[in-house]
Structure 1
Amino acid sequence: MPKWLKISLKILAGFILLIVVILLGATLYITYNKTKVLKMVNEQLEKNVDGTLIIGDMKPTFFKGFPDISLSLKNVLIRDKKFAQHKHTLLDAKDFNISVNTAALFRGTIDINHIEITDAAIDLFTDSTGYSNTAVFKKDNKQVKDNPSESSSITQLKKFSLSNVTFTVDNRKAHKLFNFAVNDISGKMQYPDSGWRTDFHLNVLAKSMAFNSVHGSFIKNKVLKGDFVAGYNEKSGIINVSTMPLNIGDDPFKINAVFETAGKPDAGFTMHIVADQILWRSATALLAPNVTTVLNRFNISKPMDVICDLTGSFDGNDGGPKLYVTAKVNDSKVTIPGAELDDCSFNGIFSNNYVKDKGFGDDNSIIKLINLKASYNHLPFTIDTGSIINLIKPVATGNFKSNFPAADLNYFLEDDVAKFNNGSADMNLRYTADIIDYKINKPIIRGSINLRNTDIYYWPRNLKFKNNSISLNFVGDDLLLSNIRMQTGRSIVTMDGRVNNFLNLYYNAPEKILLALQIRSPQLYLGEFMGFLAERKSAPTTRRRGNSGNIADQLSNALDRGKAEMHMKVAKVYYKKFLATDAYADLLTTENGLIIRNVGLKHAGGSLKINGRVMQGRSLNRFALNSTVSHVNMQEFFYAFNNFGLQDFTYENLKGFLSAKTNITGGVTDAGNLAPHSINGNLDVSLRDAALLNFKPLIGVGKFVFPFRDLKNISIPKLDGHFIVNGDMITIKPLQVSSSVLNVDVAGVYGLTKGTDIALDIPLRNPGKDSLIIDKEELQKKRFKGIVVHIRAHEENGKMKIGWNKNHKKN
């Protein structure tokens, strides 16, 4: 071994032995001067304490703080002078270990370099008046400056560590409550001229981080683990803290924080927090319950990038802290109340200080969505800037734009309302909507929805429309419909309309919705609209009658229960054999039928006017009509209406012009056919220049009474009669028929299927020349001059019998 190495090893060994001897001597010194040293420690600590400091016991710990001397203090207690009032002990430590400078100890002073606290509780309490138990620490070090010999009393801590410590900051004045279960905090201190600097490791459970205890705690019951760098500047009184990263639960965060401690009235803090790729629910779980409860009404499926700035004051007078959060979301599924948005991307902002100087409460909070792109039930849309304002009563606002194939509406409507093919749709809406209480506070919508060149199958009424265009414009509370073109089969309809107070009624009272339509058509084939007669089909799934919150449900409910008031002008109306021109009508749809008002049209050389209603039923639709027929060609009229269900009396038996007034009820099938034998009511008939052709019942009577007269073509210049229809039975009120062949008085009942019983009074004289008699009285006297035959035509055992009327009463 080289000589120099031997010498070096001997020196090193001697140095180590010297240190061991010194430490052993210090340990023996402390052991045999325990009372004196304990007094010195107490005096050193009490220099900064204005209250009660109790150390239960003290033992030296050999080599633990090498080269310093380690002292293990047991049952250390620190209380301020007002402990009896508030009952909050500042420090209660079972083990309080310190390392003291060995050289200073031999000089008779205590210089603490390291503090280790284990199994302890630290409680920093401030009452409602602003008094804090931290007042136990003296703030005036003037005596130190006046007495340089005591400079050693200014303790500069080199190391510190805490484990199994409960740390609480309870500020009743500022409504702040911080409570941590410290698993491990350990670090080193440096003291440059500007103040101090520390590097430390943190592993704590955050039981409460309530910046405002009224609203609850942030990051409650989350483990915080990470390495920090902190520094204090004496001149500015500012502490800077940073960590990269701090794990809160399973999520890493980058944090930079600034704390003001210079004793300013408005002293506060600022935190800048960055989280890359954090899930929505993980992020909301870190916030106070009042915010979390609202934000959890939403969800975002994929992780997002979040930046949070947190600013507040220590005195709590600002009601803070102030939150400003930004987030970036890409291609996620976003869940909102009542809907799910797919492929959603946006830049988000959250602030609890929406209106400056109105505090940092939930009612002054805003969620802002910028450049949002998404799809809802396959409908793509964009929102340039959308906002959700006031987390207590959230209101959403924004500009909604969308352009898509009309067939994509099928996903949106779930095939419950209608099915679309071909064409395109676009929406441009400005909305304001209460997203929670929209049943009470109705949305406000401005803008338009347009459908172009699309085919629509409105399946609840089994109606098919092709090549349709519709423009819906929301103006104020009203809905305006314009440029509507609809075609079903050969029918072409153009419309304009409006619904007053639409948005309110849509949610609150859909049965009060009234759509006023102005309808024009060059040609209308009523048979193509028979779906309106049928009962509305039920939805494929069970739908609630009220406001379920589902958009498709509500739209279907509104269409089902709302009413339409239609004012129609149609050049030509076709229905089976019926043709009318210059038709006009006022129609009102109801939940179970159709009200007909002021219907007028030209037909068969005359005109018709109708009022009434149609009531839908499961097996048969009922109608009640009042009509006026003016001077129509009887043959055309009876032909068009399929002889009104009569079998023995058809358009082939008639000639001339008919005027009539009816007040009838009846039934009509879903196909638009009159239900057999369903008509009831009154019928007043007036015939002019009429003729009865080949009417078999009368021919049968003629064969019996007038075997030599031709009754196949009987001209009737004028006839006025009153009939009562009751299903299969038509009651003929006393009726005088004056014709070219014979005169006859008729009364009785005509049965369409059975039950006919008619009395006929027939003068035998030939009335062929009566038309030349001008005097009415003379004509009446001559009418029954001569022999009068009284005949009864009635049914017996299913067969018609004609014979003398034995029950005839003579005048």
Structure 2
Amino acid sequence: MSFSKTTQIILSLIGALAVLVGGLLTWAYQYRDDAFQYILKEANQNINGRLTARDFGFTPFANGIGFSFSLFDVHLQDTAYTSHRTELLFIQQFTIQVDMKSLFKKEFQIKSVCLKEGKINILVDKEGYSNLSVFRPRDSLSVAKKTDPASLNKVIGNLKDVCFKNVLFSLENIRKDQHIALKAEDLTNYVNRRDTLWELELKGKVYFDEMAFNKKRGAFLSHKPTELDMNMTFSSQTSFLRIFPSKVKVYDDTFELKGSFDFAPQGHAHLEIKTDTIHATRALAIIPKRLADTISRFNILPVVTATVRLDAPLFQRENPMVSIDFQTKTFNYESPMGAILNVVATAHFTNQANPALPASDQNSRLIAKHVTGQLYGNIPLNTFFTVTDFETPFLSMEGNFKADLPQLNSLFDETYFRLNSGKALISYCYTGKMNPIFNEKTNELNGKLDGNAKLENAAFTYFPQRMNFTRMYSSIRFNEKMVDLSYLHFNHRRNKIRISGKVTGLLPYAFNSSDKVNGYIALFTPDLGLDWIRDYNKTISRKNNKLFTKLIAKIASQLELKAVVMAKKVHYRKFEATNVKGHIYFSEKSVKCENVKMHAFGGDFQVTGGIEDFDRPVHRLYARGNVNHADVQKVFYAFENFGQTTISDRNLSGKISTDFTYSSQLTTSFKFVPASMKGRLSFELSNGELNHFEPIQRIQRIFFRKRDFENVRFENIKNQFILQGQELNMEQMKVESSVLTFFVGGTYSFRDKTDLLVQVPLSNLKRSNDDTIMHNLNGNNLVIRALDEKGEIKLKYQLDWRKKLRRADRPESSPFN
């Protein structure tokens, strides 16, 4: 065939087609108005309402072989529109595409429907009336005029798609307090019919304003742009819509969706939504705001993998049932006790914990089956908890901490503490309010706490005092008010300490409390060495920023500890005592003891006293007590001769009983401030001996050369001493010894002011074994004055006759003036 013939045939076909189209267009426009009025008339005869349109359009061969009919400014109103004023439908352009082949068979089959720019508003009022009644046939219609399902199937049986362009849809069920509102921005529903089952593929963009199945409980998908890619089936017989696994994209998060809608009068919507790695904040935005706000109050908002199951009644005034299973990714949580890092949790939430009760906040429950993390980033944490009643959340929690102590050194200042070894195990159970757990006004937990703690072979060093604690074991129980020390055993140097007791006010410090901490303990040790006290240094600096160092310093500043001390043996430098019992009180600023009794110096020793003002540059020491039947040599030895060298434990023996009071200032290194010393001592010395005492031996060389002053034995001696600064003033006392009787009084000084007056009755010159001889100062006396001259005691002697002695009573006539 030649090129010219081919061209001629093509041109002929185009011409014929043009004539056909032209003819059709001519026919369409010729009968346009008649068709428009026919369509409106037929539609209005088959509805229980009123359908109107402003204009009618016709387009042949639209989207293939077929015709498109368009109605413009379409309004659909039910018969009660004048009362409720809610149009069921307003569409600016309603387009129907009709299959051309069906027209040649004198049939009307719709291939597609498209709605552009408009609103669809479904209303159900308080009485249950719905504007969907517009689709109910009129009672006045004859049977012949009523809609024939078979005829309807012929019309829409080959429908392929329905599209929506910027169409608002709303369902307002006033009777059930429900509201669903969305905008189909560009949405197409691809349709395939199999008998009574419609296969649907819904794709496009939808903006959800809200889905409120109960407006009082809040709405799902509030103000959320979404993209839909959904596969569904709809049964026209059962009014049941099934959603097969589909995808819904909300913002940047993609959800897998499946479920069903049962449009029967008692029907429900069942949805299952899954998501991978969505941030909890965005996930909560999908569920009702009130429920989301309740969950948000817990401040646990990690990235999660979640499955949400929803059971929502479509036409009943009930709350939807929500069930959520989720697994978190690693996140950090700021708990009331401090930061918990690297948290991972598996949990389940439902708002219908009791199936016999309706879904509600009060019937909600969150179960965290397994939660792990590191408290403060160092202490391994395992816990299980349940939260119920989201109206006023109630928490039940169990958990434990387990840690190798050296791993916690980063929480301490290395210049103060070092954990050397050991393990710590803490288990606990809490039931009570969740928000808040701790009441700052009452300084108490808002619930019940029970737990136990153990230390196993712990050891640590406290550097400021050069103290090492080793072999530390403990069994501790605690509740919201008290810590009960079943036992706390540890070694400090050679001391083996055993402690039991109770501490109150300690646990609130985990929640940043600053109130008093009170301890009541019993301390036992077989052998307590106190030499470490000399290494005492200043307490922890408040400027330290390490967590536990600050916490210990804070607790120490508020700690008041009362202890019953029992020790088989106590020793400090040269001091030793046995069977020590008494009460001791510790605080940051003071140490006090009360009625501490012991066996010491070969006798019984009881003392009450303490050291105060640790927070000041100068401390205060005070004491009162008594010693009964003690070995005076041991007393002087234990107290290192009271800091003087004139008379020492090598010179004395005998039994001494005393009552004393004493006070003094101390330096920060616990040295006495001599000028501040004050005291009063009443003593009785029996069976005493003074051996190798140089001042007495000097008297022997001059006056009593034939007597043995190397070993001088005394009868009972009683006197009272008053300490003022560095001077010890004593009243004149009579001393009856194995070598002579003398009277002594005056001032003994710990510096250079010693001034003692010794008077020896000359009746001593006659040696007699007659105990009936009474020596006194009424006769002639040898007067010896002991004066401190340049740090050395000098003796001055003078005979004193009675007459002179009487004049000596006057200061101006003293023989030493």
TM-score, normalised to structure 1, is: 0.83
SS at match of 2:352: coil
Match of 1:589 among 564, 586, 597: 586
Q: 1:637: Cα distance to partner?
A: 1.5
Counterpart of 1:637 in structure 2 is 635
> CA 1:572–1:362 in structure 2 vs 1: closer, same or farther (change >3 Å)?
same
Q: What CA deviation, in whole Å up to 9, does each residue of 1:286-305 have, x standing for no partner?
A: 3333444454544576x543
* Consecutive unaligned residues in structure 2, runs of 5 or more: 440-444, 797-807
Aligned mates of 1:489, 1:652 — CA distance in 2:
32
2: CA distance, partners of 1:247 / 1:605: 91
Partner SS state of residue 20, structure 1: helix
Counterpart residue type for residue 448 of structure 1? N
Correspondent of 1:763 among 761, 764, 785: 761
Q: In the alignment, does 2:540 pair up with 1:537?
A: yes
Confirm or deny: 8 A CA contact 1:80 1:133 kept in the other structure. no
Q: Which residue type is aligned with residue 289 of structure 2?
A: P
Partner of 2:474: 470
Distance in 1, Cα, partners of 2:552 & 2:310: 44
What's the secondary structure of 1:361's corresponding residue? coil
Given candidates 50, 53, 56, the residue that maps to 1:55 is: 53
Partner of 1:361: 360
Superposed, which structure 2 residues align to 1:313-328 within 5 Å? 313-315=313-315, 317-318=317-318, 320-328=319-327
Q: 1:570 to 1:15 in 2, by over 3 A?
A: farther
The alpha-carbon deviation at position 359 of structure 1 amounts to: 4.0
1:400 aligns with 399
Tell me whether 1:451 sits opposite 2:455 in the alignment. yes
**Equivalent residue, structure 2, for 1:785:** 778
CA contact (8 A) 1:337 1:435 kept: no
User: CA contact under 8 A between 1:396 and 1:435: conserved in structure 2?
Assistant: yes
Partner of 1:64, secondary structure, is coil
Matched, 1:270 2:301: no
Distance in 2 (CA, whole Å) between partners of 1:48 and 1:619 is 104
Q: Which amino acid aligns with 2:162?
A: F
**For the residues of structure 2 that align with 1:557 and 1:358, how far apart are their CA atoms?**
49
* Counterpart among 239, 248, 251 of residue 249 in structure 1: 251
Pick from 71, 75, 78 the counterpart of residue 73 of structure 1. Answer: 71
Of 510, 519, 526, the residue aligned with 1:522 is 526
Taking the aligned partners of 2:281 and 2:769, their CA distance within structure 1 comes to 100
Q: Distance in 2 between matches of 1:541 and 1:48?
A: 86
Taking the aligned partners of 1:700 and 1:362, their CA distance within structure 2 comes to: 100
Tell me which residue corresponds to 1:605.
Answer: 602
Q: Is the 8 Å Cα contact of residues 82 and 133 (structure 1) preserved in structure 2?
A: no
Deviations 1:421-451 (A, max 9, x none): 2233334433446554122234644443222
Identity of aligned pairs, percent? 20
Deviating more after overlay: 278-287 vs 142-151: 142-151
Tell me, yes or no, if structure 1 residue 567 matches structure 2 residue 564. yes
Give the counterpart letter for 2:419 in structure 1: F
* SS at 1:635 equivalent: helix
SS class of match (2:28): helix
Which residue number corresponds to residue 623 of structure 1? 621
Q: Is the Cα contact below 8 Å between 1:202 and 1:228 reproduced in 2?
A: no
Amino acid at match of 2:779: G
The 8 Å contact of residues 69 and 102 in structure 1, kept in 2 or not, is answered as yes
Q: Against the structure 1 CA distance between its residues 609 and 489, is the aligned structure 2 distance closer, same or farther, given a 3 Å change threshold?
A: same
Contact (CA 8 Å) 1:527, 1:672: kept in 2 or not? no
Deviation track 1:597-643 (CA, whole Å, cap 9, x = no partner) reads: 23122222112111223322343432322211112222221222233
Which residue number corresponds to residue 97 of structure 1?
95
2:224 corresponds in structure 1 to 222
Cα deviation for residue 760 of structure 1 reads: 5.5
- Once the two structures are overlaid, the 10-residue window that deviates more, 671-680 or 136-145, is 136-145
1:236 aligns with 2:238: yes
CA drift of 1:141 comes to: 7.2
Contact 2:521–2:564, Cα closer than 8 Å, also in 1: yes
What is the distance in 1 between the residues matched to 2:530 and 2:434? 43
Q: Residues 501 and 522 of structure 2 are in contact (CA less than 8 Å); yes or no, is this contact kept in structure 1?
A: yes
TM-score by structure 2 length? 0.82
The more displaced of 178-187 and 470-479 is: 470-479
The answer (yes or no) to whether the contact 1:347–1:370 under 8 Å persists in 2 is yes
- What is residue 546 of structure 1 aligned with on the other side? none
Tell me the residue number matched to 2:418: 419
The aligned counterpart of 1:380 is: 380
**Aligned residue identity for 1:617:** D
CA distance in 2, matches of 1:493, 1:582: 15
Deviation at 1:204, TM superposition (A): 1.7
- The DSSP-based 3-state class of the residue aligned with 1:28 is helix
1:547 maps to none
Secondary structure at the counterpart of residue 30 of structure 2 = helix
- Aligned residue runs from structure 1 range 477-516, under 5 A: 478-499=482-503, 511-516=515-520
State how 1:106-117 maps to structure 2 within 5 Å: 114-117=112-115
Shift of 1:161: 1.6
| Amino acid aligned to 1:605 | G
Q: Secondary structure at the match of 1:619?
A: coil
- State the one-letter code of the partner of 2:722: I
Distance 2:289 2:762 in 1: 106
Deviation at 1:469, TM superposition (A): 1.5
Q: Which moved more, 1:464-473 or 1:189-198?
A: 189-198
CA distance in 1, matches of 2:230, 2:16: 37
CA distance in 2 between partners of 1:176 and 1:749 (Å): 103
Instruction: Check whether the contact 2:280–2:301 (CA below 8 A) recurs between aligned residues.
Output: yes
Mark the CA change 1:164 to 1:689 in structure 2 (over 3 Å): closer, same or farther: same
Counterpart amino acid of 1:164? N
User: Any conservation in 2 of the 1:714–1:740 contact (CA below 8 Å)?
Assistant: yes
- Bigger mean CA offset, 598-607 vs 237-246: 237-246
Separation of aligned partners in 2, 1:79 and 1:768? 148
Following TM superposition, by how much is the alpha carbon of 1:184 offset from its aligned partner in structure 2, in angstroms?
1.0
Q: Distance in 1 between matches of 2:17 and 2:695?
A: 146
Shift of 1:272: 0.7
- 1:441-492 CA distances to partner (integer Å, 9 max, x unpaired)? 3464444322222212346765320122122234685433235321111111
1:76-100 deviations in Å (ceiling 9; x for gaps)? 3345566666665543433333445
Instruction: Measure the CA separation in 1 of the matches of 2:81 and 2:766.
Output: 133
How has the CA–CA distance of structure 1 residues 737 and 236 changed in structure 2, closer, same or farther, with 3 Å as cutoff? farther
Equivalent of residue 184 in structure 2, options 159, 182, 196? 182
Query: 1-side partners of 2:430 and 2:752: how far apart?
Result: 67
SS at match of 2:526: strand
- Name the stretch that deviates more: 568-577 or 13-22: 13-22
Asked if the contact 1:406/1:451 (under 8 Å) is kept, the reply is no
1:226 and 1:243 in contact (8 A); partners too = no
Alignment of 1:638-653 (within 5 A): 638-646=636-644, 648-653=646-651
Q: Which secondary structure does the structure 2 equivalent of 1:659 belong to?
A: strand
From 189, 212, 215, give the equivalent of 1:213.
215
* 1:764/1:79 CA distance change after superposition, 3 Å: farther
Secondary structure of 1:286 counterpart: coil
The answer to whether the 8 Å contact 2:347/2:370 transfers is no
Contact 1:111 1:153 in 2 (8 A): no
Alignment of 1:300-311 (within 5 A): 304-311=304-311
Q: Residue type matched to 2:369 in 1?
A: I
Contact 2:78 2:88 in 1 (8 A): yes
Residues 509, 611 of structure 1: alpha-carbon distance in 2 compared, 3 angstrom cutoff? farther
Per the alignment, do residues 225 and 505 of structure 1 end up closer, same or farther by CA in structure 2, a change over 3 Å counting?
A: closer
Determine if contact 1:388/1:395 at 8 Å carries over to the other structure. yes
Q: Deviations over 1:388-417 (max 9, x none)?
A: 334455444344245442322435667799
Is 1:661 equivalent to 2:659 in the alignment?
yes
Deviation sequence 1:230-280 (CA, Å, 0-9, x none): 22224433211235322122122110121121112xx22110111133344
Does structure 2 conserve the Cα–Cα contact (< 8 Å) formed by 1:203 and 1:226? yes
Q: Which moved more, 1:470-479 or 1:229-238?
A: 470-479
Distance 2:549 2:140 in 1: 81
Amino acid at match of 2:399: F
**Aligned CA-pair RMSD:** 4.4
Given that 1:439 and 1:508 are in contact with CA atoms closer than 8 Å, whether structure 2 keeps it comes out as no
Give the structure 2 partner of residue 410 of structure 1: 409
